[in-house]
Structure 1
Amino acid sequence: MASQQGLPKTHRALVLTSTDEPPEVKVIPTPQPGPGSAIVKVEAANIISYSKNIYNGTRKYSFPMPLVIGTSGLGRVAAIGPDAVLLEPGQLVFIDCFVRGRDDPGSAFLLGVHEGNTEASKKLMRGEWRDATYAEYAKLPLENLYPLNESLLGSKFEYGIEDLQDISRLLVPYGGLSDIGLKAGETIVITPATGPFGSAAVKVALAMGARVIAMGRNAEILKNLAAKNERVETVQITGDMLADLKSLQAFGMIDAYFDISPPEASESMHFKSCILSLRHGGRVSLMGGLKGELNIPIRAILQKDLMLKGKWMYSRQDVKDLIKLIEIGVLKLGDRKAEKFALEDWEKAFDAAFNSSATGAGAVLVP
């Protein structure tokens, strides 16, 4: 079936064999489609801001090697398995890196990044879905490929690949915001709002109709966020819990709090300030990857009937819903262009992504 669909025998891919050595571009056999899968010709593969620290071992992520690394992206269907009924060759699709077990959705891993936390998720990544998207072709589960309305997105909104690549960044906070049922007209604290995912959370929350209190340490980035939308207020994190709480309370009733703090932030006092600022019945979404344990004000949580929810990534329905928001024009793209890099320039690409917090631009690999 694969030969009838015109797949080449080999293709180029960025392969990691050890975190002690840099990845290399190699020529490897092209994957073949089977039941439950499709082969995608990768148009652009996203780069996480801290990718270089994943693949050099600084972040102790667990994954099998050798590995074709990568993450979410965009591509065109090149070949389909015998049971595909929606996808067709040539379609532009969003490639979702969050792979789940078909018979156990709780067994999940991040394609090309992390093999998850259970033996079942490790089995998935070490077996059928081992290789990712920093390659000319990638084999993916059918359910991880989401068709995009190319004529609408391209003709009406004039979005190109450099615009659509931002879907994967926006999806992460959308998963947490959707999980706590953020509603139009509500007020939500987002922190830190100054990084790639935090700024994405601000953008998504605004598209969902909320008022945002953007919180962070970088005053210049906070100022820029507020200048872009009249529904954005800002609070700079000072490290003084009571002072930050007072600053938050000055904005009146706060319905929700979304946090996507980095690993080193577990000792920060802003968690307590934000939780204490919530109204009775308020909600909290925690999505950050903290290293340590979080000290939370349990008495206030009990007395105020607060809801705390952790969320790793998003649901499949969230992916569909976010794409709808983009296709009907509620969630606008185009304000965060991505610099394009060839596979051979992966090191420059990783550096550009690492600096994305300061530059406001992303980076993608274009095989």
Structure 2
Amino acid sequence: MSTTALPDSMQALILNSTSEPPIVQTVPVPQVTPGTAIVRVLVANIISYTRHIYNGDRKYPFPTPLIPGSSAIGRIVSLPSDATRLQLNDLVFIDCIVRSRDEPTDIFLAAIVEGGTPGSAKLMRDVYRDWTYAEYCRAPIENLIPLNERTLLGSPKEGGLGYTTHDLAYLAAILVPYGGLRGIRLEAGETVVVAPATGPFGGAAVLCALAMGARVLALGRNTASLAKLKERAPYTERLYTVPLTNDPATDLAALQQYGEIDIFFDIGPPEAAKSTHIKTCILSLRHGGRVSLMGGYHEDIPVPHRVIMHRNLTLKGKWMCERDDIFAMLKLVETGMLPLGKKGGVEVTAHSSMPALSR
């Protein structure tokens, strides 16, 4: 084991129950175990619906008490003896998708939901209950993805991209749609409909698809948000915004004016389960088109079976991303093809330190 000097205690956000808000408490710093490392958390994301996770609105199953969290950016401060690539002080992306080492289908989102199998629930409850809304986090070494600090944070005058650690936190949002787009084998030059495109993950999907070389039709109800997306996104010459009216004939005609469409990428929230856009976008696809289903619907959605069959369409579901998706996406970021921060039309609007959370 290799380690830097660590304090005995740290501040962490503790959720004792979904019936009461989390509170900042002083707790022991976690210790290294085989296969895990300790990371000092620099920036941790807050998902747009975080409040609804931890107040029980979304009814996600997870054990309490726990330290909440999501994916984050951190620096390694303690390593186990079985780590071979990671080094002390490495800047890393902390991936919140945790998989069992002996059964990869036992998978859960750390501190968010315990997954859908007895094995995933056991792993979260007994091993990885606490996560990144703390000064230090213990994580599986395979969940710590080394970042090219010199390239990502370095000065542009010295060949770097000039990002901040806050900019890098957006990697977590980008990874979700990137996993779906890569899974459906999006190719440069293809046309993809992203719907809805105005939410946090939909907007990230637009940026991903543009960086991957696609022409993007961004579909959404909020015309002001669509206009803002068009104004701030890179590669705007390949981005077209399409207002969603919820009249299927009108929406289909609006999409068809752009010619042949290869892919429909859906990432709607639970509230959009009864929206007409799903069927409309499927109907807009060319023969042999593909559909990536990443929406968070809690109920079955209707699809045009006859059209899917006759047009040889492919429907593929995707939950989050795979580990190799992270490395592939980082290549886009490190080469500047997928810009972050202001270059990518995304800015940090607010942030808080741990002491501020206690007030």
Range into which the TM-score falls when normalised by the shorter chain: over 0.9
Normalised to the residue count of structure 2, the TM-score between the two structures is 0.94
Match of 1:179 in 2: 183
Match of 1:359 in 2: none
SS of 2:289's partner is strand
SS of 1:78's partner is strand
Corresponding residue to 1:293 among 292, 297, 300 = 300
Match of 1:328 in 2: 335
Match of 1:364 in 2: none
Corresponding residue to 1:264 among 268, 271, 283 = 271
Are positions 1:157 and 2:161 aligned together? Answer: yes
Are positions 1:341 and 2:352 aligned together? Answer: yes
Aligned-residue offset at 1:250: 0.8
Aligned residues: 347
Matches within 5 A, 1:232-251: 232-251=239-258
What CA distance in whole angstroms lies between the structure 2 residues aligned with 1:147 and 1:31? 21
Going from structure 1 to structure 2, the CA distance change for 1:347 and 1:53 (only over 3 Å counts) comes to farther
Could you tell me whether the CA contact under 8 Å between 2:294 and 2:319 is conserved in 1?
A: yes
Aligned-residue offset at 1:345: 4.1
What CA distance in whole angstroms lies between the structure 2 residues aligned with 1:121 and 1:346? 30
Are positions 1:224 and 2:228 aligned together? Answer: yes
Could you tell me whether the CA contact under 8 Å between 2:24 and 2:357 is conserved in 1?
A: no
Letter in 2 for 1:57: G
Going from structure 1 to structure 2, the CA distance change for 1:262 and 1:347 (only over 3 Å counts) comes to farther
What CA distance in whole angstroms lies between the structure 2 residues aligned with 1:332 and 1:219? 24
Q: Which structure ranks higher in relative contact order (CA pairs < 8 Å, sequence separation ≥ 6)?
A: 1
Letter in 1 for 2:126: G
What CA distance in whole angstroms lies between the structure 1 residues aligned with 2:110 and 2:356? 21
**CA deviation map 1:39-95 (0-9, x unaligned):** 000001110001011111111111000000001000000100110111111111000
What CA distance in whole angstroms lies between the structure 1 residues aligned with 2:165 and 2:18? 30
Letter in 2 for 1:306: L
Matches within 5 A, 1:102-251: 102-155=101-154, 156-227=160-231, 228=233, 229-251=236-258
Match of 1:32 in 2: 31
Could you tell me whether the CA contact under 8 Å between 1:179 and 1:311 is conserved in 2?
A: yes
Matches within 5 A, 1:18-97: 18-97=17-96
Aligned-residue offset at 1:226: 2.7
Corresponding residue to 1:305 among 312, 316, 335 = 312
Could you tell me whether the CA contact under 8 Å between 1:262 and 1:288 is conserved in 2?
A: yes
Could you tell me whether the CA contact under 8 Å between 1:225 and 1:232 is conserved in 2?
A: no
Normalised to the residue count of structure 1, the TM-score between the two structures is 0.92
SS of 2:177's partner is helix
SS of 2:32's partner is coil
What CA distance in whole angstroms lies between the structure 1 residues aligned with 2:113 and 2:358? 20
What CA distance in whole angstroms lies between the structure 2 residues aligned with 1:269 and 1:331? 31
Aligned-residue offset at 1:5: 3.1
Letter in 1 for 2:185: G
Aligned sequence identity (%):
52
Going by fraction, where is strand more abundant, 1 or 2?
1
SS of 2:286's partner is strand
What CA distance in whole angstroms lies between the structure 2 residues aligned with 1:103 and 1:325? 31
Could you tell me whether the CA contact under 8 Å between 1:34 and 1:82 is conserved in 2?
A: no
User: What are the ranges of 5 or more consecutive residues in structure 1 without an aligned counterpart?
Assistant: 349-367
| CA RMSD, 1 decimal | 1.3
Are positions 1:7 and 2:6 aligned together? Answer: yes
What CA distance in whole angstroms lies between the structure 2 residues aligned with 1:347 and 1:201? 34
Letter in 2 for 1:164: L
Aligned-residue offset at 1:337: 2.4
User: What are the ranges of 5 or more consecutive residues in structure 2 without an aligned counterpart?
Assistant: 155-159
